[in-house]
Structures are given as C-alpha cells and as structure tokens.
Amino acid sequence: MNMLSYIGPSVDGCDVRVVDPERVVAVQRRLPDAATIEELAEVFGLLSDPSRLRLIASLLEGGELCVCDLAATTGMGESAASHALRLLRAHRVVRVRRNGRMAHYSLCDGHVRLLLDVALAHLAHANTDPSAPGGTEP
C-alpha cells in the first residue's frame, strides 16, 4: 500500500515527499557509496571532452598507438594529446607502454569499449526513434 508520508527536512530546509518509503529505502541501500559516485563522475567528466573522446575512439579503432599517431588521427598537437593522455592514464582509462623514448597508448580494458559502444548505440537508437526527444523518422 502506497502511503503518502514525509521524511525529515532536506538540506535546504524543505520537506521531502515520499510516496513509497519501502522502495526508497531499498533503492538507497543499492546505490553506490559517495566515493564511488565521485569517481564515476570524474570518469564521465573525462569522457565529456571531445578531444579526449577522439583519443579514446582512435584507440578503440587502432589499438595501441604512439602519441604522434594519436595526435595525427585526432588533429591535435602532440603536446595537447600528451596532456590529455596523462589525464586519461591517471584515471585508468588508458595505459602506456614505453619503448625507448616512444610512448605507446592503449585502452586499459574492454570496459571503456563497452561504455562507448553502448553510448553510440544509444545515440543511434535515439536518432531513429521518433518518440525520443530530438528523434527523427528513419
């Protein structure tokens, strides 16, 4: 039975309406902890930059590539590509293999490919679904 109830005041002093308190508690128990949410937000923040996304897409298509080739495939300068790759490496999105003075980058694991594949499938679906916001008829 759904009973309308209220739980304590929120941070801003407003009351929060709860229609299904048992369900709210069950969902809260399954949510990732705050530290995990922060780390997730950082990863999605990294992926929100078009330049970094082009680097990741290049690695998805080309496998392991050196900084020079990554810069060429993305239209970035080597310095900008190196900086972006350092950020991606610090967040364990890419890894580096050194061969003398050359640095070769690749994706850390298949999860990054999965993230991008799912996002691309979502965009393709949303762009062909007329009921989706911004969707068009095929």
pLDDT in tens, 42-68: 888 988 999 999 999 999 999 999 999
Domain ranges in the chain? 5-31, 39-128
How buried is 69 (Cβ within 10 angstroms: 0-12 exposed, 13-18 middle, 19+ buried)? middle
Helix (H, G, I), strand (E, B) or coil at 100: coil
pLDDT tens for each residue of 65-90: 999 999 999 999 999 999 999 999 99
CATH number of 39-128: 1.10.10.10
Residue reference for tokens 């999860």? 111
pLDDT value of position 1? 43
Residue 3 reports pLDDT greater than 60: no
Share of the chain above pLDDT 70, in %: 83
pLDDT value of position 2? 44
Write down the pTM of the prediction. 0.72
Q: For the chain, how far is it from start to end, CA to CA, in angstroms?
A: 43
Question: DSSP labels for 32-92?
Answer: PPHHHHHHHHHHHHHHTSHHHHHHHHHHHHHSSEEHHHHHHHHT--HHHHHHHHHHHHHTT
